[in-house]
Amino acid sequence: METILGKKKKGVSSLSLSSAFFFCPFFFCGLVGTCRANSPNQQQLDRITALPGQPLVSFKQFSGYVTVNEQHGRSLFYWLTEAVTDADGKPLVLWLNGGPGCSSIAYGASEEIGPFRVNKTGSFLYLNKHSWNREANILFLESPAGVGFSYTNTSSDLKDSGDERTAQDALIFMIEWMSRFPQYKYRDFYITGESYAGHYVPQLAKKIHDYNRPSKKPIIDLKGFLVGNAVTDNHYDSIGTVTYWWSHSMISDTTYRSIISHCNFTHVDNSPGCEKALEYAMSHEFGDIDQYSIYTPTCSSSSANATRHHRLKKTLIRRRANGHDPCTENYAEKYYNRPDVQKAMHANLTVIPYKWTACSDVLIKHWKDTQFSMLHTYKELIAAGLRIWVFSGDTDSVVPVTATRFSLSHLGLSVKTRWYPWYSDGQVGGWTEVYHGLTFATVRGAGHEVPLFQPRRALQLFKSFLAGHELPKS
């Protein structure tokens, strides 16, 4: 992820300062490029017996590769964690992290909604009692090629990735994956994610919706999507982000006025005056904070400095507070680079010439096309009748709640249920407003990765979304 000055971490990158806040059913020749069927035995070959250091579990796991472009040799890596109970009767949910160029296994699976957490030394796993596979079958996808274990045999692919190809490859992945896992055909299907997945999720939803149009009974039975702290509209997101900085005392009145007067956030490149004002805010006024969770500590372990110093451009402090460990990203990198882990997951079969990392700097640096605004896509998908929920952790300053509210307000939706506090475990979990066609909810006390900071509240939100019920009022 990046702020508008290009400081990358987990889900948003800055392709420019103004865009910094985004920062043949299964012999599908036309899409894949060659006619190819999945081996009937491939599903069992993808079965994970057990991961190294994993506690005993009752649910099944599968992981492996799905080729999405034979000519270029692009293959995407997935990890399926089936539901703890009644897997055959529960929906399928795809989770995508953003970046662009960050791993859904590093973040979604290992820090947020997955069934396991990685210990400090990367030597064993322990259970996440708020895992989303308590409610659904969760499919994690490392996308696009070049992220995590996903790869391409065509090196130029790493330097010309963008929104359109990412969405198209993800559609091909789902078509091919359904062929390998026919038990999920016609199952209720939802897409979820966060941050720059604010592009990935609705873009893939539109691809699937368009693909399904000729069919009365679609194999990929898309019902809706859920996305958090989502990059939505470069212009409105930017205004909302600067407003958050000022309203949360991160910048001075003088700097706020300077940014507003010099930056219009409608062009690919900012003016020199805008650049100067933003640079001053970041370098002189923010301080050494975690911009993704402004009230929690940051991490400065040696491995964190090695992998993120050039991204964050600041000195970090390592400590634990409020139950949140700020160094979890480093533990995942230790674990997934272990040869025994990769063998158990059927990963890195081609011996990728680089280490598995949480984010790909090459992809982020060379991202080519990005949709300026997702609002038109939202309008199309609302008209299509999909269930759409957008949520925001309210302590994130990178894609903050004000950014999302500014953007969504320009959809012009009428209110169905007025703004009210919703509850989780007897406490206010956040606030929500239900519109005709979309539900918006905040999650109180959560940063950019909502399920990491507020796992119980995130699970309550997920359960309500799947059920199609408004969030509890008491």
Distance in angstroms (rounded) separating the CA atoms of residues 471 and 468: 9
Partners of 465 in the β-ladder: none
**Inter-axis angle of helices 234-247 and 253-262, nearest 10:** 170
Residue in 316, 303, 402 with CA at minimum distance from that of residue 357:
303
Going by their DSSP bridges, the two strands 427-435 and 387-393 should be labelled as: unpaired
Catalytic residue among 195, 360, 392, 424: 195
Quote the tokens at residue 86.
């009644």
What does each C-alpha distance from 349 to 149, 151, 342, 396 come to in angstroms?
Answer: 9, 10, 8, 37
| Residue recorded with tokens 């979604």 | 108
Give the contacts of 268 (CB within 8 A, at least 6 positions apart): 16, 18, 19
- Rounded to a whole number of angstroms, the distance between the first and last alpha carbons of the chain is 35
Residue in 233, 231, 211 with CA at minimum distance from that of residue 222:
211
Residue in 352, 333, 346 with CA at minimum distance from that of residue 74:
352
Catalytic residue among 63, 424, 448, 464: 448
Distance in angstroms (rounded) separating the CA atoms of residues 11 and 132: 20
396 catalytic residue (yes or no): yes
Catalytic residue among 396, 397, 407, 464: 396
What does each C-alpha distance from 464 to 207, 424, 459 come to in angstroms?
Answer: 25, 11, 9
325 catalytic residue (yes or no): no
Give the contacts of 15 (CB within 8 A, at least 6 positions apart): 22, 23, 367, 370
- By CB atoms closer than 10 A (0-12, 13-18, 19+), residue 283 is exposed
Enzyme catalytic residues: 195, 396, 448
